[in-house]
Structure 1
């Protein structure tokens, strides 16, 4: 969607969303943009866009008291309007899928709402390609359901850290390899977490 080096993402830590939005508005112009892309936790927002405005936003964030601002090592500026070519490319792929009835609701990070409608899956996935991930709000939905245990799939423990920081009532265990799968499947594993 974006040629290498033309886009960037950066984490701004220690600033609230409104401050980040103001910084992004300041650096956006002349056909170049930076926008919030991941609303991770209070005081932790990731921005994405063209490389120059994202890098300028890093400088401004430091000047305005961000406790940390760092460019992320990513291959593209995800979850922002620059990903429209990827969205366009995914449209026929996703529309070709047959999606059955849900056995349970799925939280769509683009809306931070539970979706139970199979007809909404493709539009929500397409929208997520170019829109911010509303992680903090999505996990708030989980917290309000009374869920006390969760599993983070994949490599790393970033989401586990975000959950600990924001919703301490939910215990998160990583599931990243065969050993963690075996540990999670042991009787009473949730109680040990």
Structure 2
């Protein structure tokens, strides 16, 4: 059997995250310092000291999570140079982290890209116009049908994240999202709640983001990744730079096929998923999608030995 590395997306940020890696590992500290220098502002201080409302802003949360995740990944590499995942993947922003981990992008280019991405996503739709909601307990066919029912030429709601078999996030105009919440509750959803986000991410309203990102891509140095990267937009493994770039552009205004990506990796022989970075959101989503999957979350230095044992066991099996 084999294993995969997965990296979290926006929403897991919290003040103080990654400080233990910074304090204990020189290589992790270097990741924070390199990110600060690349961005031209003290991201590390914002991560460690806050304020929380500033760290939560999309343009800062994205490079912050990427930096902390790579700091944890580099600490893992100090423990073992023998890392051979079958695939790497990440949820939304986490796909950029996966590309940095796989050597397709330098850390400096990664943090600059997601900082720009965050700004573009916020600028695409005025505050208060868009919204997102999580629908839990309805299958994807039902949620997709509800989105079609409430959408017209002037007002839309679309699936944005297929997080697990029973958790789908929808995104679009505020009025349409509110209507989907009402209808989902009528259809028997366990929960249907508005998310605390500032824009309708991964909906077609985000299409202008792709144009800005395409220009930003030209300023970066790209390489073929060491390991196949399973793309959010099609749940397929990509290794060619041009394909990866196209998938990232499409990802900005299309849904994140996370559960489909997990199912693909499981079907390709992946038995164990190691989540690297703050929190353990993906660990929970993976277990809800593939119940027999082995999962482990590396979010602090005291879990490093456990992470190595985890992937070692996956290789032995």
* TM-score, length-scaled by structure 1: 0.90
Measure how far apart 1:183 and its partner are.
4.2
Q: Which has the higher contact order (CA 8 A, sep 6+)?
A: 2
Correspondence 1:36 to 2:154: no
Measure how far apart 1:180 and its partner are.
3.2
Distance (Å, rounded) in 2 between the aligned partners of 1:122 and 1:68: 35
Correspondence 1:93 to 2:219: no
Distance (Å, rounded) in 2 between the aligned partners of 1:50 and 1:118: 34
Distance (Å, rounded) in 1 between the aligned partners of 2:218 and 2:150: 36
1:149 match: 272
Measure how far apart 1:16 and its partner are.
1.3
Distance (Å, rounded) in 1 between the aligned partners of 2:301 and 2:131: 34
Question: Does the aligned pair in 2 maintain the 1:143–1:169 contact within 8 Å?
Answer: no
Correspondence 1:120 to 2:240: no
1:65 match: 188
Distance (Å, rounded) in 2 between the aligned partners of 1:76 and 1:175: 29
Distance (Å, rounded) in 2 between the aligned partners of 1:182 and 1:77: 39
Q: Secondary structure at the match of 1:132?
A: coil
2:173 match: 50
Distance (Å, rounded) in 1 between the aligned partners of 2:133 and 2:293: 27
Q: Which has the higher helix share?
A: 2
Measure how far apart 1:153 and its partner are.
2.5
Deviates more, 1:98-107 or 1:109-118: 98-107
Q: How many equivalent pairs are there?
A: 190
Question: Does the aligned pair in 2 maintain the 1:12–1:69 contact within 8 Å?
Answer: yes
Q: Secondary structure at the match of 1:121?
A: helix
What whole-Å deviation, never above 9, does each CA across 1:132-180 have from its counterpart, x for those lacking one? 0111110011101222222213322221111111213322211223333
Over 3 Å counting, the alpha-carbon distance change for 1:120 and 1:9 in structure 2 is same
Q: Runs of 5+ in structure 2 lacking a partner? A: 1-123
Measure how far apart 1:189 and its partner are.
4.1
Q: Which has the higher strand share?
A: 1
Deviates more, 1:112-121 or 1:124-133: 112-121
2:233 match: 110
Question: Does the aligned pair in 2 maintain the 1:13–1:44 contact within 8 Å?
Answer: yes
Q: Secondary structure at the match of 2:188?
A: coil
Measure how far apart 1:21 and its partner are.
1.3
1:184 match: 307
Measure how far apart 1:13 and its partner are.
1.1
Distance (Å, rounded) in 2 between the aligned partners of 1:138 and 1:28: 27
